[in-house]
Amino acid sequence: MAEFSIIDKHFSAIGHAHEHTRLGVGDDAAIVAIPPGYELAVSTDTMCEGTHFFAGTEPELLAHKLLAVNLSDMAAMGASPKWATLAISLVDSDESWLASFANAFDQYSKAHEVQLIGGDTTQTEGCLTLSLTIMGLLPTGKRLTRSGAQPEDEVYCSGTLGDAALALSYLYDKEPQLSNTLFQQVLPALHTPEPQVALGEKIRDHASACLDISDGLLGDCAHIAKHSNVSIRIDLETLPLSPAYLAYLDQGGSIEHALSGGDDYQLLFTAPPHAAPYLRQAAAELGVTITKIGTVNPASDTPVQLFENNKEKIVKNKSYQHFS
Ligand code: ADP
Ligand code: MG
């Protein structure tokens, strides 16, 4: 199947049709109207076969994850996702693969009211590469950045940490002590993470800084510390862990995945103590758990300090970086 037939058949009418879309797929560029009083948040995330997913991963899972990791960036800014463009480099044009990918992408983008308004379809001799640019709306001036944390703020994270990294480690044959039963319980966190879009929208007027945990908790704390010119204390015993992760710890497992693993796509945010009742209520209304895991302190030589039962631990940040 040739490029234009692929676009027409699979990518021309995906997602939720927005009233502010002036022109979607089919011309040289898409056009969207930004409603008065709003700004556009834009972010791109790319997934390469062999680096971000195993060759042969089901197209439905790729569609979910590609959209989820991008939605998570919108969540981290407090933005409401609206539009996306998809750049896809295919090794071949496998009709049933494309249909499954496009169908899953359509369903999940409808669930988040995102419309696919354009993209690029190319053939590669290398490996399958999927790149999504996502756009969302933010009330003017309401952005939630990494730079607003203040000493005495509290540090929170949503959901639980470490399951995705634990599953990945198992797949690389590095967790022989993890039983297959527990592996099955942590696998959805790796394959189908649920971005915290609604939480991001709710906390954007109350949190002082926010990001989504993609590189690992400690590394992402360091991002907030650097951008906000503060240091962050994390209290190890407060980290929210899933029942499966706790069972794995009981069997002699390591806390490392929760600290430095990454791929969690939970929100890490800071807020002044007086915001706590609002934050807890907002999270409860959404059915999302949030946990206070630490505090913000003035800048220091150790931007992220890890404490266990009030004793400081020395940590090496093993968070992931390309080219390192
Ligand atoms: P151009 O030659 O102007 O770059 P293309 O031929 O690459 O345009 O694409 C034709 C139209 O199809 C454009 O509107 C483009 O945005 C859209 N498009 C191409 N690939 C995709 C895709 N994978 N998903 C969504 N839209 C796509
Ligand atoms: Mg093009």
Judge if pTM exceeds 0.85: yes
Same domain (yes/no): 89, 231: no
Residue 147 forms part of a structural domain: no
Question: pLDDT tens, 256-287?
Answer: 999 999 899 999 999 999 999 999 999 999 99
Measured in whole angstroms, the distance separating CA 47 from the mean position of its chain's CA atoms is 13
Å from CA of 65 to ligand 2 middle: 23
Q: Are residues 86 and 59 in the same domain?
A: yes
Does residue 324 sit within a domain?
A: no
| Domain end residue (candidates: 90, 110, 139) | 139
The residue ranges of DSSP E strands in 142-266, in sequence order, are 154-158, 209-212, 230-235
Q: What's the pLDDT at 316?
A: 65
- Report if residue 145 sits inside a domain: no
By alpha-carbon position, which residue is closest to atom 1 of ligand 1?
Answer: 28
Do 42 and 191 fall into the same domain?
no
Structure tokens at 169: 């480690």
Is residue 254 situated within a structural domain? Answer: yes
Mean pLDDT (whole number) for 138-156: 97
Q: Within 6 Å (CB) of ligand 1, which residues are found?
A: 7, 11, 25-28, 86, 88, 116, 118-121
Q: Are residues 206 and 292 in the same domain?
A: yes
> How much is the pLDDT for 100?
98
From atom 4 of ligand 1, which residue's Cα is the shortest distance away? 28
SS3 breakdown of the chain: % helix, strand, coil, rounded to 5? 35, 25, 35
Residue in 32, 47, 120, 124 to alter for ligand 1 test, most ligand atoms within 8 A of Cβ: 120
Q: Hey, whose CA ends up nearest to atom 10 of ligand 1?
A: 26
pLDDT of residue 323: 60
Q: What is the percentage of the chain residues whose pLDDT exceeds 90? A: 92
- Residue 320: inside a domain: no
Burial call 232-262: b when 16+ CB within 10 Å, e when fewer: bbbbbeebbbbebbebbeeeebebbbbbbbb
Q: Could you tell me if 308 and 176 lie in one domain?
A: yes
Confidence class of residue 245 from pLDDT cuts 50, 70 and 90? very high
Ligand nearest, relative to CA of residue 11: 1
The verdict on 119 and 190 lying in the same domain is no
Percentage of residues of the chain with pLDDT beyond 70: 97
Is 221 within the bounds of a domain? yes
Which alpha helices (DSSP H) does 22-117 contain, by range?
59-77, 95-111
For the chain, what is the radius of gyration of the CA atoms? 20
Q: 57 lies in a domain?
A: yes
Mean pLDDT for the chain?
A: 95
Name the domain count of the chain. 2
Task: Tell whether 192 is covered by a domain.
Answer: yes
Among 121, 124, 128, 129, residue to substitute to test ligand 1 (most atoms within 8 Å of Cβ): 121
What CATH number should be reported for the domain holding residue 221?
Answer: 3.90.650.10
Q: How far is the CA of 121 from the centre of ligand 2 (A)?
A: 7
Least distant ligand from the CA of 89: 1
- Indicate the residue among 139, 167, 191 that finishes a domain: 139
CA of 5 to the centre of ligand 2 (A): 14
Same domain for 163 and 298, yes or no, is: yes
The answer to whether the CB of 183 falls within 8 A of the CB of 305 is: no
Instruction: Kindly give the distance from the C-alpha atom of residue 202 to the centroid of ligand 2, in angstroms, as a whole number.
Output: 37
CA of 98 relative to ligand 2 center, distance in Å: 18
Same domain, 91 and 121: yes
Task: Calculate how far, in angstroms, residue 42's C-alpha sits from the geometric centre of ligand 2.
Answer: 19
Residues 300 and 208 in one domain: yes
DSSP 245-273: HHHHHHTT--SHIIIII-----EEEEE-G
pLDDT band at 189 (very low <50, low <70, confident <90, very high): very high
For residue 315, the model assigns a pLDDT of: 72
Q: Give the ligand whose atoms come closest to the C-alpha of residue 26.
A: 1
Q: How close are the terminal C-alpha atoms of the chain, in Å?
A: 39
Residues whose CB is less than 8 angstroms from the CB of residue 246 and which lie 6 or more positions away in sequence, other chains included = none
The CA 214 to ligand 1 mean position distance, Å, reads 29
Q: Are residues 43 and 130 in the same domain?
A: yes
Residue numbers of the domain that contains 165: 154-313
Is 60 exceeded by the pLDDT of residue 37?
A: yes
Question: Do 130 and 107 belong to one domain?
Answer: yes
Write down which residue in 108, 139, 170 finishes a domain: 139
pLDDT at 25: 96
Say what the pLDDT of residue 62 is.
98
The answer to whether residues 158 and 302 belong to one domain is yes
pLDDT at residue number 262: 87
CATH number at residue 52: 3.30.1330.10
